[in-house]
Structure 1
Amino acid sequence: MAKPKKLFKILLGVAIGLAFSYFFASTGNTCGTARVARRVSSPEPPEPPPNQNLIFVGVMTAKKYLDTRARAVYDTWGRHVPGRLVFFSSETSYSDKIPLVALRDVDDSYPPQRKSFKMLKYMYEHYVDKYEWFMRADDDVYVRYDKLEELLRGVDSKKPLFIGQTGKGKSEEMDRLSLDTDENFCMGGPGVIMSRGTLRKIAPYLEDCLSNLYTTHEDVEVGRCVRKYAGISCTWSYEASDDFEMQVIFYHNQSGEAAFTGDLKQKEVHRAITLHPVKHPRQMVRLHNYINGLKVQDALQSSLLLHRDIVQSMAELGYRMDRLEHAQLAPGLELFPRKKGQPDYLGDSGLLGVPVSINRYQPRNLGDVLEWELISKTLYSHRDLNPRKRIGSSLKEGLGDVIREIMEQINSYSKQRGRVIDFKEILYGYWRLDPVHGADLILDLLLVYKKYRGHKMTVQVRRHAYVQQTFTGIFVREATPAGTETSASKDDGIVHQIISKLSDNLAPLSRRPARPAAPVINLLLPLSGRHDTFVRFLDRYVGVCVAEGEPTRLHVIVYAGDDYDATVESIRRTRSEHGLDDDALALVEGGAEPFARGAALQKAVDRLRDDDLMLFVDVDMAFDRKSLDKMRRNAVRGLSVYFPIVYSLYNPKLIGGDVHQVVDGRRGFWRQFGFGIAALYKGDYDKLGGFDLHIKGWGYEDVAFFDKAVASGLKIARSADPGLVHVYHEVRCGAELDAEQRTMCLGTKGNTLGSLATLQALFDKYRRLFR
């Protein structure tokens, strides 16, 4: 019996040993480096394709950021890295939405030194043979994965390299960092990259580095460890292009929480590979959408160049541009197998393939000549009564886009040539815009030429740039508020529309689905005096809105004055005659203080809720139901603000006849630089900061508010609306206005007198009076 008992004990010991082996294998390695937090679908993301084993990205995060920052990273750039991305967090962290490693014996305390060194050790033990490069990143950094791949595929990964934005520490703490004069470190925020060889050299000593920390700075200690055991420091510059290259491509914005919350059309955003810090998930998504927009522009440009190549190549075969749609490369092999209107149509080469030429547009008569406007510190144009005016925000933004594209093309080969050219200013330029043919620009640019190889030099140079922007067609995209969906945007959209059409013809058999109720428009009308004009406006409002059942409410902000009692009586009488309650036609007391339009509108705004649609209107405006429909379509809460372009009538005493019937250049003009009429939701108004209530008297409050809207993340919708007509009234520019307001007032007064042709005719008629 002794032998079987002994055999049983041996087998029992083996079984227990196997059980313990399985247990330790499932919970971590012998060093207890990490424990993988399982996902719902799979423990880890799938293996990347063989040609995508370029880089392993480890993103350090914390338990409290798993559903915010970390999720935003994974849903934007994290899914597209040319390799694998994994998040690293504390031991108690768990997520079923992102690939996560919960590091054993690691918490979320700051600074994350233990987390960083344990993450590097995990990378080495699990992936050192699978990837060429390894990146340490934070959850508040945005990575241009396409540019990152371009950079790394141009560098020898077999060399020991440590790449990032070089740091030496702040001047007041340099002595406390214990760095030698020839030592530096890669700043952790914008991201740090090391080659496979570097990770192999430091991996055996990571525990030793963690046990011998000199400072509380995690990136400094990683840099010290790399310097000590790999013998290298952070790369100062890439291919010795200039000392600031790494500060450019690994970009750290010094604005903190406000970084990347404003205008993204900055050269730093366009040139960088990593952008740091992006503190809010919403800004991460916004930045990702902007970067994707740049990629779309690049794809469209590539498509344009391909169409030009097609036109040039097919011309050698005897095909005219207007016949390319039917061209065949061989019998039965069409050049464009998909025709216009079909899915996957490649575009009209007759439009997209037009070669670049300064004389691409040839006028046939004098009326077809396109006029040029001069751009200098201001804009000079013959189209306005005042030929000298400020450069508008749209043109200014367009020039910025053009200059950025020009400089990117100029510097596309700068590294190979050992030089760089920076833009300084536009000395002058000419531009013209035609709705059919596009825009042409001739620019005289002042540039700074810097040569940093061989004979180094810096010198200013002038260059002319000829730019052509061809309009390629109109694309319509319908935007809807968050949480709503149009029938055409559903998966069964087409079928749904067909069924709806059939249902309309089968009314006895099926009911037509009810249309959603149109949003109520709150018209906010500030008023000081001008009772007769108000009566005209009120009659218009009753005819367009009340009589037609249009869902609107009118809020009249009345200031004390000579016409106060008459205005109040008109409001009371209109309520009584049409059965309107105090909410449908509201009287808002403006008080006895001096009238200021912004302050007056604010009194009515304060009465509304965040989800109320507002229309800022003037007493001189005439409108129709179509105009109100445009307000509803173009003002979308959380998405867009609508500033319609109104048609402003000239002085009828100079024009003569009925000026209300026809919209043309003799009777009036489109007030493109007027922003007083606006439609938006009250919640968006508050987010924009509202009107500047310090502005008194005539004008400028609308311009300041429009500038706020442009600087925000909301879209600006603008369109010319023939149904919105500003009836002429005399403009009085009092001496109490400040200089800027008075200048704007006088400009408006001059513009509303009459067209250039009318004023020229009057001048010719009464020329003798000016002698």
Structure 2
Amino acid sequence: MSMGEVTDRPVMRKRRGLSSVVLGLTLGLLLGFLILSYRMLVSTPPQRSSGVWLSSTQAVSRLPLRPAAKNMPKIKENEYINNSATNLVFVGVMTARKYLDSRAKAVYETWGKELPGKIAFFSSEFSTVPENCPDLPLVPLPRVDDSYPPQKKSFLMLQYMWNNFGDRFEWFFRADDDVYVRTDRLEKLLRSVDSKRPMYIGQAGRGNSEEFGLLSLEYDENFCMGGPGVLLSRETLKRIVPHIKKCLQNLYTTHEDVELGRCVKKYAGIPCTWNYEMQSILYHNSSGDQAFTGNLKKKEVHRAITLHPVKSPPHMYRLHNYMRGLHIQDLQQERLHLHRDLYTMAKQLGIGLDNLKNNEIAKGVRLFAADPYSSRHPGDTGILGVPPGLRSFKPMTSEEVIPWDFLSRSEYSLADSNPRRRVHSDIKEGLDDITREVMASINACSRQRGRIVEERSALYGYRRVDSYGADTILDLLLVYRKYRGRKVTLPVRRHVYLHQHFTGLEIREVLNGEQVILNDTNSQGYEKSLQNILRNTFLNLNFNPDAENDPVQGKTIHFVLPLSGRFEVFQRFLKNYEEICLTTGEKTELTVVVYPHPTEDSVEKTINLVEQLRYKYRNSRIETITGSGNFSRAKALHVGISKLKDEDLLFFIDVDIVFTNSALNRIRLNTLLGRRIYFPVVFSQYDPKVLYKNSVKPDRFAISDFSGYWRIFGFGIVSLYKKDYNAIGGFDLSIQGWGKEDVDLFDKAVKSNLDIFRAADKHMIHVFHEVECENKLSRTQYTMCMGTKAATYANREVLTKIINENPDYMRFARARRLKLIKPAS
């Protein structure tokens, strides 16, 4: 084409300059801003606050700020998966705003504190840390509410965990706020699995019978049930987090755990673990709110790693305490194994067990600490290290031979005056524990061996207790089932020989429910002994001014004694009170409520006797109150209580009781204001005229089956604070005459929120006296009175001997029985 030629093609435009580009961008941004502002003005209505309409701009400025994550676990910069034992698992707990101060708090304060990793709680957008648990690690997820189903909350929680902690932990655990986790067993499980592989571990499910076929699952697809917990390896979370937005946009059901399983299957390529064992180790109880509220001594509880659901926070704490008790048992068993190793090695090396504690592994280097209170002190290896066996205890004489008790439907014992009796609840519980542990041991490798052994019943057994522990022999009826290869089902019988060793004496000093930790035991013991020697001498020397502030010995016990007649017995009581309390300077006060007796005129003599004691001990506080009308123990005690203060420690006592300083110390230790009431079990003497006749009586505090019995069903002797007495409702003042008022007070105490503590006190003796049962008593009171009268006569051996020596008693009993039967027939 020549230069002068003209064509019809359009002429190409020149390139725009930089100024044109800037101008276009500016106009576009300005136009977009105007359109956005117009839409906000149209779509956002004005809001009213305190009667004043606000503009949309003002309303936006007053919206609450989105809370940021609080108390999140701090991880060091150099703390990674491969160099820290505490970076095993990160637990994300899904909860709701209304459960932060209850369920979430219970989880955090129980198993959440013992994880081999970290824990965080994920809730709705505007959730805040509860006041009753200010250190709760909380993540309020943006644009998430507490509505059900919590699919968005679950997926965004996993996303947060990966974005913030993905390179710091091997495993990630999705949990609810009503699940309990045994962290030691969880750690054992996770350390046995390779976290570098994609793993999706949980209790596999395909929906219940009503949902089957409606969850859009293929025939070979499943999901991990969310309730008992879901475990994801780091590799699994790495694969699914980039696709969480797609998983949320393609939901087929309202079940969060189903959709998580679908997402894992699609983007990680793995299903939930098809393993029958997961049904028991990640355990779901279908009882709902009643789950784990009853007896926890069940094989399902003992085998599980997670327990679901625990709806009530108090039951979460109860379950945690039970699991800690099981852990203590494991530690005690481990200690026994160590003692047995020491015992065996000492025998092999020819070192005497008495010299083992002082043995040196090098010159000047002791094997064990010399201080018996040190944690490095071994204890009594000579007793605890004895190898287990039914022949550990070797009697030297025929009197030392311990007979076996026979157990079947009843218990037969030569050591009891009643040779045949029902099997008591404590024996039943012990046998159930033994059977459960034995069956768990038998079936420990059942999966590998392709067989399982089931327990049918215990046919019979033998049991005894010696100085080393309890020995048990059981004949068990079992069922052997082989399910691999040739299937076999056979009934079998096996004998179980078990020795349960004592684990040593554990002593813990507590004060008002809190443990007392002594730093210098010897010096403190010396100060207390010096204080006891110099206290209440004629100079009342006290070189330790803090001794008077002893929180235990400083508690004043206010004795309240109801009395009607019985002047000679009251003289014995005052002599005992003077010897134990006044001469030793015990901090006690005595209030005697005296009522006139129908046949004994002793009110004036009683008051004069008290005045003589007050004159002898000028600093003592002894008061007498004279009552009027008919005597009632409940009314008399209430009159004495009304003179005292709410913070006073009360001790209701009878005139027949003798006691020692040890009994007073137990009253101070076992009675806690607002927490615990102490009902000591008193030892009651039999009639000495029947037992000893003209022979010499033993010491008053001698305790044996021959001399008396424990008043297990007696509740009249009690110590409590007046404030607690009023809180439980006090005595029923309508009860007149003998008995029943103590049972009524005990029932009120049991139904209250206070703890009831009962224990046998060998330093509190009920001296025998004749029991008089008046005919004017109510039927219930008269029956109780006659029962007490019969129980205090003598023990069964003495009664049997008396009946055998006097045939007239049997003839009289037969004749009386015939008279009772004939009218009925």
Range of TM-score over shorter length: 0.7 to 0.9
2:125 is aligned with 1:91: yes
- 1:700 deviation in Å? 14
Q: 1:631 aligns with which of 667, 677, 699?
A: 667
Q: 1:357 aligns with which of 379, 389, 402?
A: 389
Q: Deviations over 1:499-553 (max 9, x none)?
A: 889999997997445334855667799x9xx966799579848973999586568
Q: Partner of 1:386: helix, strand, or coil?
A: coil
2:377 is aligned with 1:345: yes
Alpha-carbon distance change, 152 to 653 in structure 1, aligned in 2, over 3 angstroms = same
Alpha-carbon distance change, 166 to 686 in structure 1, aligned in 2, over 3 angstroms = farther
Q: Partner of 1:370: helix, strand, or coil?
A: coil
Q: 1:725 aligns with which of 760, 766, 769?
A: 766
The one-letter amino acid paired with 1:218 is E
Q: Deviations over 1:602-637 (max 9, x none)?
A: 999999999776667678655456434322212335
Structure-2-length-normalised TM-score: 0.69
The one-letter amino acid paired with 2:421 is K
Cα distance in 2, alignment partners of residues 690 and 456 from structure 1? 67
Cα distance in 2, alignment partners of residues 439 and 141 from structure 1? 36
Q: Partner of 2:192: helix, strand, or coil?
A: coil
Q: 1:81 aligns with which of 115, 118, 122?
A: 115
Cα distance in 2, alignment partners of residues 452 and 708 from structure 1? 55
1:56 corresponds to: 90
Q: Deviations over 1:438-487 (max 9, x none)?
A: 322222334444444334455544332222233353221012225x675x
Structure-1-length-normalised TM-score: 0.73
Q: Deviations over 1:38-58 (max 9, x none)?
A: 549958999464344432211
2:688 is aligned with 1:652: yes
Q: 2:459 aligns with which of 410, 423, 427?
A: 427
1:19 corresponds to: none
Q: Deviations over 1:401-434 (max 9, x none)?
A: 4344333333333333333444444333222224
Contact 1:143 1:274 in 2 (8 A): yes
Alpha-carbon distance change, 451 to 81 in structure 1, aligned in 2, over 3 angstroms = farther
Moved more, 759-768 or 67-76: 759-768
Contact 2:73 2:137 in 1 (8 A): no
1:312 corresponds to: 344
Q: Partner of 1:514: helix, strand, or coil?
A: helix
Contact 2:86 2:117 in 1 (8 A): yes
1:23 corresponds to: none
Alpha-carbon distance change, 223 to 472 in structure 1, aligned in 2, over 3 angstroms = closer
Alpha-carbon distance change, 570 to 769 in structure 1, aligned in 2, over 3 angstroms = closer
- 1:332 deviation in Å? 4.9
Contact 1:503 1:512 in 2 (8 A): no
Cα distance in 2, alignment partners of residues 179 and 572 from structure 1? 93
Contact 1:251 1:273 in 2 (8 A): yes
Moved more, 448-457 or 380-389: 448-457
Moved more, 499-508 or 657-666: 499-508
Alpha-carbon distance change, 713 to 461 in structure 1, aligned in 2, over 3 angstroms = farther
Q: Partner of 1:473: helix, strand, or coil?
A: coil
Cα distance in 1, alignment partners of residues 151 and 639 from structure 2? 54
Cα distance in 2, alignment partners of residues 310 and 392 from structure 1? 37
Q: 2:494 aligns with which of 451, 463, 481?
A: 463
Q: Partner of 1:131: helix, strand, or coil?
A: coil
Cα distance in 1, alignment partners of residues 288 and 642 from structure 2? 33
2:241 corresponds to: 203
Alignment of 1:263-282 (within 5 A): 263-279=295-311, 281=313
Alpha-carbon distance change, 378 to 544 in structure 1, aligned in 2, over 3 angstroms = farther
Cα distance in 1, alignment partners of residues 747 and 435 from structure 2? 25
Alpha-carbon distance change, 507 to 128 in structure 1, aligned in 2, over 3 angstroms = same
2:510 corresponds to: 479
Aligned residues between the structures: 714
Alpha-carbon distance change, 228 to 360 in structure 1, aligned in 2, over 3 angstroms = same
Cα distance in 2, alignment partners of residues 206 and 716 from structure 1? 56
Q: Partner of 1:149: helix, strand, or coil?
A: helix
Contact 1:447 1:462 in 2 (8 A): yes
- 1:363 deviation in Å? 1.4
Q: Deviations over 1:530-584 (max 9, x none)?
A: 96679957984897399958656879999xxxx9978999699869977999998
2:710 corresponds to: 671
Cα distance in 2, alignment partners of residues 224 and 685 from structure 1? 61
Cα distance in 1, alignment partners of residues 311 and 604 from structure 2? 51
Q: Deviations over 1:214-244 (max 9, x none)?
A: 444433433343345545544353xxxxx4x
Alignment of 1:371-382 (within 5 A): 371-382=403-414
Contact 2:531 2:544 in 1 (8 A): yes
Contact 1:557 1:601 in 2 (8 A): no
Cα distance in 2, alignment partners of residues 406 and 672 from structure 1? 37
Cα distance in 1, alignment partners of residues 392 and 628 from structure 2? 58
The one-letter amino acid paired with 2:707 is G
Q: Partner of 1:37: helix, strand, or coil?
A: coil
Cα distance in 2, alignment partners of residues 221 and 583 from structure 1? 77
Ranges in structure 2 where 5+ consecutive residues have no aligned partner: 1-17, 27-65, 535-539, 615-619, 812-825
The one-letter amino acid paired with 2:577 is V
Cα distance in 2, alignment partners of residues 376 and 704 from structure 1? 38
The one-letter amino acid paired with 1:725 is H
The one-letter amino acid paired with 2:89 is I
Q: Partner of 1:346: helix, strand, or coil?
A: coil
2:136 is aligned with 1:104: no
* Aligned-CA RMSD value: 5.6
Q: Partner of 1:202: helix, strand, or coil?
A: helix
* Higher RCO by CA contacts (8 Å cutoff, separation 6 or greater): 1
Alpha-carbon distance change, 195 to 589 in structure 1, aligned in 2, over 3 angstroms = farther
2:48 corresponds to: none
Moved more, 58-67 or 501-510: 501-510
- 1:180 deviation in Å? 6.0
Cα distance in 1, alignment partners of residues 731 and 683 from structure 2? 24
Q: Partner of 1:275: helix, strand, or coil?
A: strand
- 1:135 deviation in Å? 0.9
2:441 corresponds to: 409
Contact 2:662 2:763 in 1 (8 A): no
Q: Partner of 1:84: helix, strand, or coil?
A: strand
The one-letter amino acid paired with 1:654 is V
- 1:154 deviation in Å? 2.8
Contact 1:60 1:138 in 2 (8 A): yes
Q: Deviations over 1:83-133 (max 9, x none)?
A: 332222333345562433332222334443221110112233344454332
Contact 2:591 2:622 in 1 (8 A): no
Q: Deviations over 1:149-171 (max 9, x none)?
A: 22223334455443223445555
Moved more, 246-255 or 697-706: 697-706
Identity %: 41
Contact 2:368 2:378 in 1 (8 A): no
Cα distance in 1, alignment partners of residues 456 and 594 from structure 2? 49
Contact 1:351 1:472 in 2 (8 A): no
